[in-house]
Amino acid sequence: MLWIMVIIIIVGYLIWMLVLNNKADKKEEERIKSLVSEFENLIMTFIKKLHIVGEIYPITYISGNPLMEGYKYSKMYLGKTDNNELVFSKELYEINEYLNELKKYSKEGPNKYQLEQYREYINQFTHPNYKIDLHTLPIKDINTFTIKGDLLQETIISGGGGGGSSLGGAVVGALIAGPTGAIIGSRKSINPIHSKTVTHDERETLIEFFYEGKKQYMFLDSQSYAALIKLIPEKEYSIVLKNSLLKSL
């Protein structure tokens, strides 16, 4: 009877622990869902504060804007405001990255410390004294934009080889099948040939604009070109050139 009581106690303890773990998992899931919702609301709040209308696009700022010298090679979001300006926001990109990281977590994912870090991010961006780092470029000051550089493709071939002779293989071949076997056995096996194409994008998007009456050039990554086509297609170099030629006729 004693061993039956021991088994009952052990089983009861295991069930109790399982229930506690399930409750803890559900609580953790609820905390994650709550943080995800807060980050999504924070993104919408930032978009409203930045007066962004329409879509926003991930880009990389390289150089060229006198007001953004400390942001070289920074990932940002690019959008268009209701004041007819381009707006560059590194903060909006960072908030969205935090959100994407949080969404990847399963219930076994973040520990308590990590969740507290995300809570600190929320508190930082929602603090009453927090000042948004705003960078804008009036569209009227933009002359043109274009894309320059090369898009290179390289084919890498691996495998193959073999075809030569191997002394070890010749000895084994001779022992098995005499002189003929020695010739066949000496041939090395040929590995399967594989090829893959690697793309090297060396292009940069170039924006020609005026700042304090002087012509300036801003450099962005190649992906920015597609974003600018959607945001300010009328400023694309070939379109500006075409319109200029039509006006001169």
Phi then psi for 209, rounded to 5 degrees? Answer: -145, 170
Count of helix runs (H) and strand runs (E) in the chain? 6, 9
- Over the range 24-35, which residues count as b (16 or more CB within 10 Å of their CB) and which as e? eeeebeeebeeb
Q: What is the pLDDT of residues 122-134, one digit of tens each?
A: 888 888 888 888 8
Q: What is the pLDDT of residues 206-248, one digit of tens each?
A: 999 999 999 999 999 999 999 999 999 999 999 999 998 988 8
**What is the 8-class DSSP label of residue 163?**
-
With 70 as the cut, is the pLDDT of residue 19 above it?
A: no
Residues 59 and 140 in one domain: yes
Let me know: does 225 contact 135? Beta carbons within 8 Å.
no
User: Helix, strand, or coil here: 64?
Assistant: coil
Please provide the DSSP assignment of 102-141 as one string.
Answer: HHH--TTS--HHHHHHHHHHHHHHH-TT-----EEEEGGG
Residue 11 lies in a domain: no
Whether this prediction's pTM lies above 0.75 is answered by no
Residue 64 lies in a domain: yes
Residue 9 lies in a domain: no
Residues 174 and 236 in one domain: no
Structurally, the chain folds into a number of domains equal to: 2
Residues 188 and 73 in one domain: no
Report the candidate in 71, 75, 72 with the shortest Cα–Cα distance to residue 60: 75
With 70 as the cut, is the pLDDT of residue 9 above it?
A: no
CA dist 171 and 177 (Å) reads 10
Expressed as residue numbers, the domain containing 237 is 30-149+206-248
Residues 224 and 172 in one domain: no
Residue 137 lies in a domain: yes
Residues 140 and 160 in one domain: no
Q: What is the pLDDT of residues 132-148, one digit of tens each?
A: 888 999 999 999 999 99
Residue 17 lies in a domain: no
What pLDDT is attached to residue 36?
A: 81
